[in-house]
Amino acid sequence: KAGVTQTPRYLIKTRGQQVTLSCSPISGHRSVSWYQQTPGQGLQFLFEYFSETQRNKGNFPGRFSGRQFSNSRSEMNVSTLELGDSALYLCASSLGSGGNTDTQYFGPGTRLTVL
Amino acid sequence: QKEVEQDPGPLSVPEGAIVSLNCTYSNSAFQYFMWYRQYSRKGPELLMYTYSSGNKEDGRFTAQVDKSSKYISLFIRDSQPSDSATYLCAMNDGSSNTGKLIFGQGTTLQVKP
């Protein structure tokens, strides 16, 4: 099985711009979660999508949004970029059924630099 | 106070040493406990997955969970230079409607040849 793929792998943007990141989950996985990783805060949960619906959300401002398509692929969008948004954005996929068989598998991440 | 606390290290050990990595947590609802390994410039890779209290062994790796103390550990036996990475503990309450994982800060491990 192919793993979780994320595109692009690297992005450089300037303050005020917006950005869209893409994630393709493992085949058969219906849940996609997004995380932000920074040296200071570590890995922080952004949101989770399951069957095209957001079913969980972390404590991030409304500038961070996402969506999921019928094929389970997901995108996240950050509008009005700030310097503090520079981070590694990680996508994780799972079956989405919960319980002790539902583990999350991470993609390689998209490294976003805001100048 | 963070829900999950993990000593960020860095931790430096000689090859062949036994490594102990630890996390403490505050939320008693957590039931599922994971250890991820992350190499530089890569995404986290699932190493161990444990449900509730007890031990789980996989090769050179042993995961322990003590729910009464809200304390989890990962032991690495006969450590190798290839084990040099950041180790992240993660956990959640296992409810069916969330994939949200709470992570520790990560411990950076260096195994010297």
Distance, in Å, from the CA atom of A93 to the CA atom of A34, rounded to the nearest integer, reads 9
In this prediction, residue B54 carries a pLDDT of 85
Q: What is the pLDDT of residues A46-105, one digit of tens each?
A: 999 999 999 889 999 999 999 999 999 999 999 999 999 999 999 999 887 766 567 889
What is the average per-residue pLDDT within A6-26?
97
Phi/psi of residue A81, nearest 5 degrees: -55, 140
What is the average per-residue pLDDT within B84-107?
86
Place of tokens 């711009």: A17
Q: Which of A41, A106, A112 to mutate to test the interface with B (most CBs of B within 10 A)?
A: A106
Is the pLDDT at B98 greater than 70? The verdict is: no
pLDDT band at B53 (very low <50, low <70, confident <90, very high): confident
In this prediction, residue B96 carries a pLDDT of 56
CB contact under 8 A, A108 and B42: yes
In this prediction, residue A19 carries a pLDDT of 98
Amino acid of residue B4: V
Rg (CA), chain A: 13
What strands lie across the sheet with A5-7, from one edge to the other?
A5-7, A19-24, A74-78, A64-68
Q: Which of B43, B94, B100 is nearest residue A45 as measured by Cβ atoms? A: B100
Q: Cβ of A48 under 8 Å from any chain B Cβ?
A: yes
CB A93 within 8 A of CB A31: yes
Burial A39-56 (b: 16+ CB within 10 A, else e): eeebbbbbbbbbeeeebb
Instruction: Please state, rounded to an integer, the average pLDDT across all residues of chain B.
Output: 91
Distance, in Å, from the CA atom of B25 to the CA atom of B70, rounded to the nearest integer, reads 5
SS3 A93: strand
